[in-house]
Every structure is written in C-alpha cells, then in structure tokens.
Amino acid sequence: MTPARAAIDRFRKSKAYDLLMAAPLIVWFGGAAIQLRPSLVALGAALMSGAITWHGALLFFALFASATFNLLLVWLLVARSVPVRRARGLLARACGFVGTFLGVAILYLPPVTPPLPLLLLSDVLLIAGFAASVVIASRLGRAFSIMPEARVLVTAGAYARVRHPLYAAEVIGLAGNAILFRQPWAILILLAVIALQVARAHFEEQVLSQAFPDYAAYRARTKRFIPGVY
C-alpha cells in the first residue's frame, strides 16, 4: 500500500471523516428545526401572554416536539463513535440517506392547522415518538447511524425486544408531523419513509452480521420492529 493510500484509509476511519459525511444531515436536521422557529416564536409569545387558544397551545407543543427531535438527531450525529464496518453498495447507502432526508422534508412543506381531534392525535404521536426516541437513543448512544453501519452492538433496553426500536419510534413521531403539514404530500412522504426504513433495516442487519459474530443469535430471538409481530 502506498503512503498516500494509507493516509486516505486512516482518514476514512477517523472522526473527522465521520463528521464530514454527517455534515449534510446535520445541516438538514438543524435547518428543519430552524424552519419552525417563526411559528414557535409567535405561538410561544401568545402562550406566555395568555392570549392563545387550546388549539394554538397544542400546535405549539407539537411543533416544539418536532423541532427538539431534529436537534436531538444533530447531537447524535456529532457525538457518535466511528464505524467499525460500513455497508457496501449504492442501494444500501441510498436507503439510509434518502430515507433520512425525505422524513425531514415534511417540515419544509407549508404548515396547516388541522381540526382539533387531528391536532390532539398529532401531539400524542409526536410526544410519544420523541419520548421513546430519547429513551432509545440514550441506550444507543454512540452507536447511532444514518447509513447502514456497524459501530457498537447494542442488545439491551428496547433493543432486547426488537432490533430497530429507534426506527419505529421515528415513524411514530413522523406520523404526528405529517398531520401538521400540507396533504396529501406529507402522508405520501411518510409512506415512502416507512418503505425506505424497512429496506434500511435489512441492509443494516447485513453489515451488523458481518461485524459482530453474536448478531445472528440476537437476530434469531428478536423481531425487527414490533415485539412478537414483525
């Protein structure tokens, strides 16, 4: 191996390279959170002054949960460890990359004010998805990945029940998001993201099986997304 090739290989295994690869996603997630700032400021001011309806208060908490979740993803991308193995092939990377970008794209659609029952449902889904994501991410920690990659094998907590609990929690939160933005585009994006998450999980399991000998036994005793079902 030439010195130049060796230097490139060392760089590809470094934290600097990992941050460089994550930079577009960091900008995308952060930008989505910033996109919600004008609505949050206006609704927050009304909330503080008491000049807000229940409908407006629910909308504020739904949007706040959405923005906070995207900032959580930014933190996970910055704090994660470097991968020990990456999936090969364009399709595997495309599923992770496009699935992630497409989910956040909902926040760039024009917001709507749904009827009160749908707004309540949005709040429940967003808060449930966000709370579950925080708990799961705290267990996943530095093993967090967007692309199908192997960093650290996590099999405790929610991962003792299903192999991809964070993906499931993200879809729950995304369903809450979809209610708050223009239709039918938001729902179509949600359905596309679900399909991409299933494909992403498949490729991730392949690379984890290659990186960790214990993964086959773990995979045999757990379901993919829903305990006891699938």
Q: What is the CATH number of the domain that holds 133?
A: 1.20.120
The single residue listed with the structure tokens 């993803």 is: 73
In tens digits, what is the pLDDT along the chain, a chain of 230 residues?
687 777 777 888 788 888 888 898 889 889 888 988 898 999 999 988 988 888 888 888 878 887 887 888 888 888 888 888 888 878 888 888 888 778 888 888 998 888 889 988 988 898 888 888 878 877 777 778 877 888 888 898 899 999 999 999 989 989 998 998 999 999 999 999 999 999 999 999 999 999 999 999 999 999 999 988 88
On whether residue 211 sits in a domain, the answer given is yes
Residue whose C-alpha is closest to residue 202's, from 84, 82, 83, 87: 87
Count CB neighbours of 196 within 10 A. Answer: 20
How far apart CA 154 and CA 164 sit, in angstroms, is 10
Produce one character per residue of 166-189: b if its CB has 16 or more CB atoms within 10 Å, e if not. bbbbbbbbbbbbbbbbeeeebeeb
Q: How many distinct structural domains can be found in the chain?
A: 1
On whether residue 85 sits in a domain, the answer given is yes
Residue 71 has a pLDDT of 87
On whether residue 228 sits in a domain, the answer given is no
Angular region, 56: left φ>0, alpha ψ -120 to 50, beta rest? alpha
Q: What Rg do the C-alpha atoms of the chain give, in angstroms?
A: 19
Structure tokens at 38: 């004008």
On whether residue 226 sits in a domain, the answer given is no
Residues in the chain, total: 230
Residue 186 has a pLDDT of 95
The single residue listed with the structure tokens 């773990």 is: 218
DSSP assigned state of 44 = H
Instruction: List the beta bridge partners of residue 162.
Output: 223
- Domain range for 215 is 3-221
On whether residue 227 sits in a domain, the answer given is no
Model pTM score = 0.77
Which is it for strands 149-150 and 85-86: parallel, antiparallel or unpaired? antiparallel
How far apart CA 142 and CA 209 sit, in angstroms, is 19
On whether residue 41 sits in a domain, the answer given is yes
Residue 1 has a pLDDT of 64
On whether residue 230 sits in a domain, the answer given is no
Considering Cα of 148, then 180, then 132, then 36, what sign does the dihedral take?
A: positive
On whether residue 19 sits in a domain, the answer given is yes
Considering Cα of 77, then 79, then 82, then 85, what sign does the dihedral take?
A: negative
How far apart CA 103 and CA 106 sit, in angstroms, is 6
